[in-house]
A and B are shown apart, each in its own frame.
Chain A
Amino acid sequence: DVKVTQSSRYLVKRTGEKVFLECVQDMDHENMFWYRQDPGLGLRLIYFSYDVKMKEKGDIPEGYSVSREKKERFSLILESASTNQTSMYLCASYGPGTYEQYFGPGTRLTVT
């Protein structure tokens, strides 16, 4: 079974802090994604990556950056956390020949 893990289930940070969210998948998938999910807005794509060191902006990249130094790991960085970044963050991946995404359990981030 594909496993996607995220570094934390719950995280509380202060405004202005730099925040790192880590995602690791164990199925050698090329494609990895970061979403945020907010009530009434659904899943919105922040960034995605098709390969190591490659990244593409999604629909809401402002205030975020990403890093993909190894194929299995995709990190989301909040350079200076703000209260409007309080959300559920979900990582996903999929492999070649399929479009079904495998999601991690999510990180609920609260910025105070």
Chain B
Amino acid sequence: SQKIEQNSEALNIQEGKTATLTCNYTNYSPAYLQWYRQDPGRGPVFLLLIRENEKEKRKERLKVTFDTTLKQSLFHITASQPADSATYLCALDEDSSASKIIFGSGTRLSIRP
């Protein structure tokens, strides 16, 4: 079955720098991959979805890449701000039917002023 690894449990960076989070998966290439933001005690909030035929997707200060050869997605936040501090989850479809998704355990990002 599909497995996801988000390499870092926690990442601390200086305000203004670019934060880069990594999501690796095993087995088959998913039809799509998603990134969510989760604040403490709250439900995750959808940020971006990238499909298998897309290399890169952008939304404001966010950028997601998808490398099916490396079986990896990178999530970038440019010009990071303390308000970007949260846990970020990647998620992808569990099997080729794309009927349900599985989540990584998340990376806790802290942006220090």
Contacts and interface: CB of A to CB of B under 8 A. Distances in A.
A65 to B, nearest CB: 18
A30 B70 CA distance: 34
Interface stretch (B41-49, B55-63, B71-79): B41-49
Interface residues of A, number: 23
Interface string A69-80: 000000000000
Contact-residue bracket for chain B: 20 to 34
Contact of A99 (B42, B43, B49): B49
Contacts, number: 48
A58 B99 CA distance: 11
Contacts of A108: 41
B104 A42 contact: yes
B89 interface: yes
Interface in B55-113: 89, 91, 93, 98-106
B29 interface: no
Contact of A102 (B46, B89, B93, B104): B46
> Would you list the 4 A-B pairs with minimal beta carbon distance, nearest first?
A103-B43, A42-B105, A43-B103, A100-B46
Interface of A: 4, 33, 35, 40-43, 45, 48, 50, 58-59, 90, 92, 99-106, 108
